[in-house]
Amino acid sequence: MIFLQVSLRKYHSRLLRQTRKIGTSTTPLRQPEKAERLIVGYSTRQHLLLDLDKSHSTHSTIRLIKMIQKDWPCVGDCLISESSWDGFHCIFDDKLSWFKIMEICRVLQGLKILNRDYIKVRTFREDLTVRVSSIDRGEEKSEAPIPKIMLLSPDSPDKPQTLTCSEMIQDYLDGTHVGFSGICDYLLALSAFRPLSSLTVQIL
């Protein structure tokens, strides 16, 4: 197990040192063959992810994220992506322990934001997952999620009012992004299914 972890860490470091042009054929993250038949997700056990359904409006989602950032500043910045069926994916930036992630999820369950079955599945799997691919199952169709809004944590340095996804990823790959970024890891996975070079994220 230790050998496997060391090997994966070396592979991840080597991968990040490669030059990547986001949204072009030189990007090493590519769609799998027959991707239209698959639903591909981004999974992590080191960052908080939320998959909110259509009962949440943009306004209520922003209010929820700000509440989480206030009560748990350790989660860091949050990227909100618009997913299928008017839902939202919320990707938090800072690295957390799995214990802390489940603590937050259980509080959200108590507030009826997450359901009990979801908590049971995540506890069994010990990871969180959000979709990054499109869906095409006859009548059930949806494009890959679209990054829309970045909510800064209260202790974040000042940033411009808008930021392109490519800029965020390039800063990360250049080593200018401080810390281990869950948002950039998510965007790198999403870039295999949605070109990000022209997408601009609103900063709030």
Residue type (1 letter), 101:
I
What string of H, E and C letters represents the secondary structure of 156-189?
CCCCCCEEEHHHHHHHHHCCCCCCCCHHHHHHHH
Q: Are 126 and 45 in contact, with CB atoms under 8 Å apart?
A: yes
Sign of CA dihedral 132, 135, 140, 141: positive
For residue 24, name the pLDDT band (cuts at 50, 70, 90): very low
Would you state the torsion angle of the CA atoms of residues 59, 121, 74, 192, taken in this order, to the nearest 10 degrees?
-70
Q: Stretch 142-165: mean pLDDT, rounded?
A: 78
pLDDT of residue 69: 94
Closest-CA residue to 143 (of 34, 32, 36, 33): 36
What pTM was computed for the model?
Answer: 0.77
pLDDT in tens, 30-75: 555 555 567 788 999 999 999 987 778 888 999 999 999 999 999 9
Sign of CA dihedral 5, 179, 146, 197: negative
How many Å apart are CA 90 and CA 80, to the nearest integer? 5
pLDDT of residue 129: 92
Closest-CA residue to 95 (of 113, 110, 77, 79): 77
How many Å apart are CA 76 and CA 139, to the nearest integer? 38
How many Å apart are CA 173 and CA 59, to the nearest integer? 32
pLDDT in tens, 93-130: 999 999 999 999 999 999 999 888 889 999 898 999 99
Q: Is the pLDDT of residue 15 over 80?
A: no
Would you state the torsion angle of the CA atoms of residues 125, 129, 131, 137, taken in this order, to the nearest 10 degrees?
20
For residue 171, name the pLDDT band (cuts at 50, 70, 90): low
